[in-house]
Structure 1
Amino acid sequence: MPEAGAEVVAAGQVAQTGYAPPPRPRALPHGKWPWLGLAVWGSALSILALFGWLMWDVLVHGLPQLSWTFLTESPQDAGRAGGIGPIIVSTLLILGVCMAASVPLGLGAAVALAEYTAPDRGIGRLLRRLLDVLAAVPSIVFGLFGNALFAIHLGLGFSILSGGLTLACMVLPIFIRTAESAVSAVSGDIRQAAAALALSRWRTLSTLLLPLALPGLMAGFVLGLGRAIAETAALVFTSGYVDRMPGSLLDSGRALSIHIYDLSMNISGGEAMAYASAAVLVLLLLILNAGVLQLARLWQARSLRLA
Structure 2
Amino acid sequence: MSSAESAMVPARVGVLGGGRMGAGIAHAFLIKGAEVVVVERDEAAAAAARERVSASAAASIERGVLEGPLEQVLDRLAVTLDRGAFADRGLVIEAVPEDWELKVASLKDVEQHLGDGAVLASNTSSLSVTGLSAELAHPENFLGLHFFNPVPASTLIEVVVGAQTAPEWVAAARAWTAGLGKTAVVVNDAPGFASSRLGVAIALEAMRMVEEGVATAEDIDNAMVLGYKHPTGPLKTTDIVGLDVRLGIAEYLASTLGERFEPPQILRDKVAAGELGRKTGQGFFTWT
By the TM > 0.5 criterion, same fold? no
More helix by share: 1
- Tell me which interval the TM-score lies in, with the shorter structure as reference length: under 0.3
TM-score (norm 2): 0.24
TM-score normalised to the size of structure 1? 0.23
| Larger Rg, first or second structure (1 or 2) | 1
With a CA cutoff of 8 Å and minimum separation of 6, indicate the structure with the bigger relative contact order: 1
